[in-house]
Structure 1
């Protein structure tokens, strides 16, 4: 492998790292925003704040799936440029073509329903609904 191929792999790896960092930050922001809106809901007892906590969680779920999808496509590109796949695609030197990777594990919905993302956001939504039910049926009824 020559220096240009190694540099190409470094470029691709930098994109993969950026996608991974974005995904991590989205998870953090999702938790922070949902927690803040849940705290407002708990203090005001206004159901709109509960709905407002669910909505950004869903939006962040879609956005996180997008970044995971892009990351998977660039991993496919990386593997083809490195020549570690059985049937590598023909990639020109320094070409960044994630659009060549579609379907199967490269589909958006595969990323959306991946175990790591599904566990995170489904747990958040179930937790938010559980807290809402707790406040509505136990805390508010006792007040």
Structure 2
């Protein structure tokens, strides 16, 4: 049982890293977008607002990538927890977990990302409209 628990611990640590990366990406996105808004207000340059629009999408896509990896490692965790002790090989290969739920598009359009990035997108669009 020790090998199985160790393997599950490895996978759990990887899942934890993916969710931590996602949290940091959200924090950086808000920080950079807010900083670009401040620069746009100070220098009266609307280019900074357009850059924040681009930055928003870059972070959204990056966050989707980490969510996709996290989902694949969760699928691996489910498979490993059902294995017998003799079948544990400490594999971290997630290439076989390509279901619709684990797809990149599904991660990008997940509730957790849409509820975070969509309001930011709306705010940026409103500010762009107001500055024109």
TM range (shorter): over 0.9
Q: Distance in 1 between matches of 2:41 and 2:99?
A: 43
The structure with higher relative contact order (CA 8 Å, sep 6+) is 2
Kept in 2, the 8 Å contact 1:23–1:64? The answer is: yes
The CA RMSD over aligned residues, in Å, is 1.5
* Counterpart position of 1:140: none
* Segments of 4+ moved more than 2 angstroms: 131-134
Q: Distance in 1 between matches of 2:76 and 2:105?
A: 19
Unaligned runs of 5+ in 2: none
**1:73-88 paired onto structure 2 within 5 Å:** 73-83=72-82
Unaligned runs of 5+ in 1: 85-90, 138-143
**What is the TM-score with the length of structure 2 in the denominator?**
0.92
**What is the TM-score with the length of structure 1 in the denominator?**
0.85
Deviations 1:8-51 (A, max 9, x none): 00000000000000000000000000000011111222111111
